[in-house]
Amino acid sequence: MNNYNRRTFINQLTQLIGVPIAFGACIPDGLSLLIEENDSLMHNIIGKHPELVVLNDRPLNAETPAHLLGDVSTPADKMFVRNNGLPPVNPSDKNWTLTIGGNSINKELAFTIDELKSSFEHHTYQLTLECGGNGRSEFDPPAKGNQWTTGAVACPTWTGVRLKDVLQTAGVKSNAVYLGYYGADTHLSGDENKVVISRGVPLKKAMENESLIAWNMNGQPLPVLHGYPLRLVFGGWPASCSGKWLQKLIVIDKVHDGPKMGGQSYRVPCNPVAPGAKVDDEDMCIIESMPVKSIITSPKTGALTSKSSVTIAGHAWAGDLAVAKIESSIDFGQTWQQCQLEKPINRLAWQQWSSKVTFPEKGYYEIWVKATDEKGRAQPMLLPGWNPKGYLSNACHRIAIKYTG
């Protein structure tokens, strides 16, 4: 954009917003300002905060606005919903059975929930779950699927037994490669014999201390929408790995091939591709650890302030890794200042951060945040590499603020 067109563009936006655009000359080409909040329709979901935004009602999928995610441990009513089928109707923990099998297990076993609770040590961890498609709405050209913005992430506190303790009781053979799960959800077609989703993780991830078979969330039984009475929890990996309404686990000698494991589901190109490119299935790789990311939970985007300085806060996370640094910018990424960053409560939990920003003059501002993981990998300012399914969007989170003076 040449200087004349840029000046015209900024002047037009200034008239629309009603205040000057601070650092308007620094706006990257092609960037749309956050003039208005997401105006998607909101629906009441039983047990959920009324501001959750429903993206799809069959199956039910809903995300949480960023300003509702300020809690250190995400409450059940503020946790996003991601379903592939229909949850079981009136599930009960009294007659629920979990079976352990597969060709890389020495002995097939079955446990009731009471037997799981009485046979193994209980563990509690705060673990981050994020949909692999969180942020999909930012990709251009658009990718098909639920158009998540920033709210398909949560970090509740989970209680259960370590998956590795259960698997070791069954006996894991030396040829074991992968763990797969099967749940009790029903396919949208109503066919009870058709599996909705059956994903899994490599054995190494399954055997981590923080990999849980959980029955409690935040000290309470799992809500039905989040897997009651039993689910897997693998922090730091796509939430689709953390199977809900868990009924069966298999340990096998090859990569699991259940529904949503093959083709292009939860996969990205093994090598970078041009936006809009068609990628063959054999050139797609399974998503494992999620990328570094952060979110601003306070203030709410679109806020007005008469104070020249405001405190900003939020969370940051980095898949299997920890976040090493987080920075903020008010001049469209021209300069950055470091924020205060807390250590995670435990491995695979998100980290809290905060800072104070000062506005030099009245006007419209965007606050951006950028996290860097412990291997030095930072969030991109705008979009990361394009992929056909719109996964792993980890661009800097941005909020709009008007300083009125």
Tens digit of each residue's pLDDT (9 = 90 or more) over 226-254: 999 999 999 999 999 999 999 999 999 99
If you average pLDDT over residues 326-347, what whole number do you get? 97
pLDDT, position 41: 45
Last residue of a domain, one of 257, 286, 315: 286
Residue 295 near residue 65, CB atoms below 8 Å: no
List the domain range (segments joined by +) for residue 181.
Answer: 77-286
Mean pLDDT of 307-315: 97
Say if residue 91 is in the same domain as residue 240. yes
Residue 96, SS3 per DSSP: coil
Backbone angles phi, psi at 205, to 5 degrees: -70, -40
Per-residue pLDDT at 28: 78
Q: Indicate whether 319 pLDDT > 70.
A: yes
Q: Is residue 138 part of a domain?
A: yes
On average, the pLDDT of the chain sits at 93
In this predicted structure, what is the pLDDT of residue 18? Answer: 59
Q: Are residues 396 and 310 in the same domain?
A: yes
Cα–Cα distance, 187 to 196 (Å, whole number):
5
303 shares a domain with 221: no
Position 72 in a domain: no
Q: Is the pLDDT of residue 21 over 90?
A: no
pLDDT attached to residue 10: 52
Q: Is residue 14 predicted with pLDDT exceeding 80?
A: no
Q: Report how far residue 144's alpha carbon sits from residue 135's, in angstroms, rounded to the nearest whole number.
A: 12
Confidence of residue 16 (pLDDT cuts 50, 70, 90): very low
Q: What is the mean pLDDT of the segment spanning 177-202?
A: 96
Q: Which of 286, 314, 329 is the last residue of a domain?
A: 286
User: Which phi and psi (to 5°) does residue 29 adopt?
Assistant: -55, 135
pLDDT for the residue 37: 43
User: What pLDDT shows up at residue 400?
Assistant: 96
Residues 84, 219 share a domain: yes
Where would I find the H helices in 54-127?
113-119
